[in-house]
Amino acid sequence: MKKKLFQSLSKLLKQGLSPAKLSLVVALGITLSIFPVLGTTTLICTLVSIFFNLNLPAMQLANYAAFPLQIILFFPFLKLGETVSKVSLDPLSKIQLISTFDEGIFYAIEKLSNYLLVACLGWSLAVLPIYIILYFLISSLLKKFEPFLSRF
């Protein structure tokens, strides 16, 4: 039973994709999942997947798996955006950030709009190098483990 479930999931995720194409989808899913606006990445990944005809289950799995990175990388993106734009915002703690989103996404966007804009600037500057590194890392891992993965 467990093996059959794993095989079904594996087929769904791979759907005949080459390691290079699967690397592209997973790297893109992770890269989009770290977009600094909480609550938007599922929709973004879905739209990108549909628009470019990519494997939606694999992209969403990568998106959900990388969710903790969205919170962890918010502050480095914010710092990068502040440095580049020379904007200085009041310090914001992780607890303040998360508790603001607990009030709802629209409330959070209103209260944190300056922080979100500056963090999005930082993300937009870092996204291409992050994607390239992830793509080559995932691609090399998939090539290395391709004999193992092909059994499923």
Predicted confidence at residue 108, as pLDDT, reads 79
Mean pLDDT split into 10-residue runs, the chain, 152 residues: 52 62 90 91 94 89 92 92 86 77 80 87 96 94 69 52
Predicted confidence at residue 19, as pLDDT, reads 76
Global pTM exceeds 0.85? no
What is the biggest distance separating any 2 CA atoms in the chain, rounded to whole angstroms?
57
In a domain, 12, yes or no: no
Predicted confidence at residue 80, as pLDDT, reads 94
- For the four alpha carbons of 121, 49, 66 and 113, in that order, the dihedral sign comes to positive
Predicted confidence at residue 10, as pLDDT, reads 53
Q: What single DSSP character describes residue 152?
A: -
Provide φ and ψ at 145, rounded to 5°.
Answer: -100, 10
In a domain, 78, yes or no: yes
In a domain, 13, yes or no: no
Residue 119 lies in domain = 2-6+18-149
SS3 label, residue 134: helix
Predicted confidence at residue 16, as pLDDT, reads 59
Predicted confidence at residue 1, as pLDDT, reads 54
Counting the structural domains of the chain, the total is: 1
In a domain, 37, yes or no: yes
Predicted confidence at residue 124, as pLDDT, reads 96
In a domain, 11, yes or no: no
Tokens of 30: 């992770």
C-alpha to C-alpha distance for 152 and 9, rounded to whole angstroms: 9
Question: How many Cβ atoms sit within 10 Å of the Cβ of residue 120?
Answer: 17
**Residue reference for tokens 């994709």:** 17
